[in-house]
Amino acid sequence: MKKITKAAIGTAAALGTAFVTSGEVLYQMFLKGKAVRESKRLHENSWFSQMLVESPVMAQGAVWIKTAARKDHTIIGRRGKWIHAEEYTGCDSHVWVIACHGYSVNVESIAAMIRVFHEQGWNVLAPHLTGHGISEDKSASMGWHDRLDLCDWIARIVKKDPQAQIVLYGVSMGASTVMMTTGEPMPRQVKCCVADCGYTSVYDEFKTQLRQWLHLPAFPFLYAGDFVTRLHAGYSFRQASAVNQLKRSQTPTLFIHGEEDSFVPFAMQEVCYRACACEEKEKVSFPGAGHVESGLVDPAEYERVVLGFVRRFITESDAE
């Protein structure tokens, strides 16, 4: 009997060790700064470089942002972490766009839209999300901790400019970040939100990536990663849910998605749209567009849709 008990204990210990180890591997693979940087190099060597060659709009934006006048801001957020953002100031406008980049890329990846917003005479604030850029937090939170950081940036803008009219804009991870943010109490200065290719939750997105890229089932691997992430970062994959946050959102929101997106499956747009509790919401999809490619497939229509939606919620005097 004692031998059976010892064997059972030994087996349980081995399984527990394997569970935690696999969770640690996934955490290091997806969320740690080193993994983000390695993925960033992959983007720069393949997808990002290819887009710069194939998309004149993206290439022009990348050139523009290198010489555009900017201010850098670093503050301590409510989480006690240093957070950083780049500011591209307009012409004395009260319109502020907070523009959020995607996973493993930087502000340059959304330079084309920052340029579009700036050319309207609007101010643009582009935060470095957790695990990216020079913000203190070296692990990506996929939008969950970022939502609180965005609340701090919003509060800073409102304090600086009480007449501010704030627009939230994000792509991919940045889209889920802004959706998650709208589930928090928003001041009246936050006018609308534009989310391009956002995922429903971190759990759903990692489940998709495990299946597509690693050919692994959610159980036990995603459960293990979730457990380790709770220990390291203080949140769970299911808790980090754009859908649950949208259920509390009162911010008018435009949902954009490429119909050929498999990285963040196109079906997630409908789930997010249906979950959003705000009275004024729209969804627009772009045929033939993959992940975050809507603005590349049809840049003129993309710009028209985004600016048209935003202008519905800001005053005309500030839109000029």
Domain boundary assignment for the chain: 31-201+240-319
Predicted TM-score (pTM) of the model is 0.89
Answer with the residue of higher pLDDT: 59 or 94. 94
Q: Are 291 and 264 in contact (CB under 8 A)?
A: yes
94 CA to centre of own chain: 24
CA dihedral 154, 159, 162, 164 (to 10 degrees): -30
The partner residues of 201 in beta bridges, in order of sequence, read 241
Pairing of strands 123-127, 95-100: parallel
Q: Is the pLDDT of residue 320 over 90?
A: no
Q: According to the model, what pLDDT value does residue 134 have?
A: 87
pLDDT digits (tens, 9 = 90+) for 255-268: 999 999 999 999 99
Q: Are 210 and 222 in contact (CB under 8 A)?
A: yes
Mean pLDDT of the chain: 87
Q: According to the model, what pLDDT value does residue 34 have?
A: 55
Please state, in angstroms and rounded to a whole number, the distance separating the CA atoms of residues 90 and 82. 25
User: Mean pLDDT throughout 124-132?
Assistant: 95
CATH no. for 31-201+240-319: 3.40.50.1820
Within 13 Å of residue 127, how many CA atoms lie on the same side as its CB? 37
Q: According to the model, what pLDDT value does residue 48 have?
A: 56
Q: Are 305 and 254 in contact (CB under 8 A)?
A: yes
For 31, counting Cβ atoms within 10 Å of its Cβ (0-12 exposed, 13-18 middle, 19+ buried), the class is buried
